[in-house]
Structure 1
Amino acid sequence: MGVRVPPFAPSGASMSYEIERATPCRVVVTATIGPEEVRSEREHVLGDWLRGARIDGFRKGKAPRALVERRFANEIRDDLEEHLTRRTWDQVRTDEKLRPASPLGIKESGWLDSGEYKFKGEFDVYPTVTLPPLDGFRAPAFDLEPGEDELAGAIEQLRERQAAWEPVADEPAAEGMLVEAEVDGAFPDGDGEAFHEDRSLFQLGRSEVYPEIEAAVTGKAVGDTVTTERTAGGEGGEEHPAKRVTYKVRIKSLRRKRLPEVDEAFATSIGITGGVEALRERVRERLQASRTERRRDVWREALVTHLADGHTLDLPEGVVRDDTRKELVEFAQALAQRGIDPDQAKVDWEKLEGEMRGRVEQRLRAEVLLDALAESLGIAVSAAEVDHEVEHQAQRLGVPFAELRGNLAKGGGLERVGALLRRERAVDEALEKCAGAGA
């Protein structure tokens, strides 16, 4: 049973409505617009028609009122109903402080003998949030100083990027070596086309080629030719039967990765002067910057948890459903771009949909809470600030600003950018307040 709100009648206007909460995020509104307001609004609508009507024998806007009313009676009535509905819906949203999550869907509408217009409609809304005081929030401890293991790992990554591959002449192929090979493949049962690859590169031990090929090549020397066989397919039943594939692999060269020593020359090679200590300090600063970003993410998550105050917010089902479907479609498109048929992919779509729905719900709840936080802090984002952010995005993507802005404007993207900026500014301000209070 929904909760009914007493009818509201604006001062000086012949309109009343009542709303019912069918669910926490589903609102049913029943409204009645009185004859006086109907007549007033009809005059506005009719005025537009009188100014724009084109009727043979009359100049535009000069046709008699009675003729226009008679000729366009149905169109005028439709416009009047639309105007009355829109004005009433705007009034309901404003007075009840509702945040719609879907358009108003009209279920019933009609004219009464008294000249009143009545309609009943439904729409989804985001939940109303009551936030706890920020005073109770304490950001969790987070160490910004990287440990020695982390520092050593980061330097090792730099060595890997600066590594050189040296030819190996008198040693057999072993794990970690880079193999250059000529590969011929065939289907001995005649159920496939033979293929040839003159220069195939793969590193042993990195699963870059089939295990059968790795096993056959390991222990062999430059100039050796090996053969191996594997069974491909078979997972798709009759539609994709198993096939035998034979490979002939001739090793053309072997190379071993040589990592540079961590010395002054290495530091100089990556643009750092001052030797090994300067290198370590630069890496430490980079790790500290990364940890600072990670700390904000952790604190943001903790802030959202604090704002939830132990409650699980209800969400508009339509938004959850649509966003989940959008993520599923994007996942399927990503598979297709990689050459994988989504219909043939080994994906448990039902399980994936459940996981994506959970992530969507988590994101939406955080957005609702942070929107409420931004409202409580009085945070606003200007159009100029949105344009500034879009300009940064355009630079990162390498596209013209006007093109990106135009594309965003078509699908409500500018509003989403503004909402994102507003939420993140609210997070920063809240964290700053808490830090100033000793959080």
Structure 2
Amino acid sequence: MVPSMKVEIEEISPVQRKLWIEVPSQEVVGNLDRAYRNLKKKAKVKGFRPGKVPRSILERLFKKQVEKEVTQDLLRNSLDEALKEIKLQPLMLQLPQQLPALNQEDSFKYSVEFEVAPEFTVGNYRGLKVTADPVEVSDAMVDQRLREIQELNAWLKPIGEDRPIKKGDFVLLDYEAQADGQAIVGGASQNYHLEVGSNQFNADFEQQLIGMTRGQEAQIQVNLPADFFNPVLAGKTVDLQVKIHEIKEKELPVLDDEFAQSLGANFQTREDLEQSIKQDLINKKEQQRQAKLRDQLLDQLIKQTCFEVPPFLIRQEQEDILREQLDAFQRRGINLAGIDKEKLLEKLRDVAERRARAHLILERIADQEGITVNQAEIELGYHQLAQRLGEKAERIREFYQQNQRVEEFKKSLREEKALKLLLEQAEGTTPLTNPENAQEGI
């Protein structure tokens, strides 16, 4: 440790600390002397041979640069030593915005604030009571899914007669949107493809398209809800100038053996396809059942385990959830111009805090149970995730390794093992219908 360095710690809250650090003046002088000696060996100054430049000249020419480097070294080294001394691992550390100026006659003093994981113990987590209906898949469910697959494999053809738009039609249109008499940024599109009645654009807008004909222009007015995802437009009335270019309708394929074969996956008959659909529905319903059981377990644990969640972890979860939502909006073709991300983040705070609590509780149960994750389990995790995402395991492994997120992935697997233990020991659970396909995140 830096000789005679003084370290004091202040508890701001159960999860927040403030660290006061003072490096003695002799250490400051020693660092400066060492920096100038190193500089003297390599500095090139006109009129002086290498290694012969007087310190007074070096100070006049390079003082700011040297003091900046020494300040950074003092901060880094003293902070590392202080954290080792207090034996705390910060979750987030806020460095001082402005460090004190170096003074050879005075000590180097500064403070930092940081967050730590809360101290708590999870009790009564064995034998929790949970309930969920058993998985059942009827012939009607299979038939409904078969019809959905038929719809997905339909092709579009121009309408055979010059008729008005009806629900289920696909239209090609232009639109320009205004609010309060002003054009909306990103609120215009040409040759936009839309399924009328899908409610993927706006339910009210799509309803008002019904009855329009090819080549027709009209102004459509819609009232956006107060909780609209874009706060700039929330609660406002929007006017859209619309022009219809084309109207198409679906042509559905016949549900026979030939249709089943066209889908691949070694289907030979319609019956093969129906059996596959049934198994897929069973797997999905099992995932939903397991998710319901997990939520019940976590709700009980969160209710009975009191601790303060570090703000940094809540913010992390808020940003992760928002990123997921924005990605989903973009995949649906929704323009995100003008959205207020901070307002959206604030709306997500309660959900984010619950997720953060759940992660901390599962991590603590894993500690209490001595749960570990070995390399073979990490590799299996890569393969299972790759299977769910339709990717190659090598790609998944490379992603986590190249982004330095292997420990994060390992942590999630450890939490999953803790959750599996809770489910196995809970009252009211039954074995998984298909364990390999029933994994899902918190």
Aligned match of 1:28? 18
Q: 1:80 to 1:269 in 2, by over 3 A?
A: closer
The equivalent position to 2:409 in structure 1, one of 405, 421, 425, is 421
Q: 1:203 to 1:367 in 2, by over 3 A?
A: closer
**CA distance, structure 1, for counterparts of residue 63 and residue 168 of structure 2:** 84
Aligned match of 1:59? 50
Q: Specify the code of the residue in structure 2 equivalent to 1:159.
A: Q
Aligned match of 2:146? 155
Unaligned runs of 5+ in 1: 1-9, 184-198, 218-224
**CA distance, structure 1, for counterparts of residue 222 and residue 292 of structure 2:** 44
Does residue 361 in structure 1 map to residue 353 in structure 2? yes
Q: Mean Cα displacement is larger for which, 287-296 or 314-323? A: 314-323
Aligned match of 2:344? 352
**CA distance, structure 2, for counterparts of residue 81 and residue 201 of structure 1:** 59
Aligned match of 1:215? 211
Deviations 1:291-339 (A, max 9, x none): 454456556555655664634653454675687589879988968x958
Aligned match of 1:268? 261
Does residue 285 in structure 1 map to residue 285 in structure 2? no
The equivalent position to 1:99 in structure 2, one of 87, 90, 95, is 90
Contact conserved, 1:16 with 1:32, CA < 8 A, in 2? yes
Q: 1:322 to 1:292 in 2, by over 3 A?
A: closer
Percent identity over the alignment is 14
**CA distance, structure 2, for counterparts of residue 69 and residue 245 of structure 1:** 69
Does residue 88 in structure 1 map to residue 82 in structure 2? no
Aligned match of 1:310? 304
Contact conserved, 2:208 with 2:220, CA < 8 A, in 1? no
Aligned-partner SS, 1:215: coil
Counterpart mapping for 1:96-175 below 5 A: 96-105=87-96, 109=100, 117-132=107-122, 136=126, 138=128, 140-141=130-131, 145-148=135-138, 149-163=140-154
Contact conserved, 2:21 with 2:82, CA < 8 A, in 1? no
Counterpart mapping for 1:236-275 below 5 A: 257-258=251-252, 260-261=254-255, 264-271=257-264, 272-273=266-267, 275=269
Report the count of equivalent residues: 389
Q: Specify the code of the residue in structure 2 equivalent to 1:426.
A: R
Q: 1:173 to 1:259 in 2, by over 3 A?
A: farther
Shift of 1:59: 2.0
Q: 1:98 to 1:72 in 2, by over 3 A?
A: same
TM-score, normalised to structure 1, is: 0.61
Q: Specify the code of the residue in structure 2 equivalent to 1:356.
A: L
Q: Specify the code of the residue in structure 2 equivalent to 1:30.
A: W
Higher relative contact order structure (alpha carbons within 8 Å, sequence separation ≥ 6): 2
**CA distance, structure 2, for counterparts of residue 159 and residue 203 of structure 1:** 16
Contact conserved, 2:125 with 2:301, CA < 8 A, in 1? no
Shift of 1:18: 0.9
* CA-based RMSD: 5.8
Contact conserved, 2:158 with 2:249, CA < 8 A, in 1? yes
**CA distance, structure 2, for counterparts of residue 314 and residue 130 of structure 1:** 10
Q: 1:66 to 1:320 in 2, by over 3 A?
A: same
Q: 1:165 to 1:245 in 2, by over 3 A?
A: closer
* Largest Rg, 1 or 2: 1
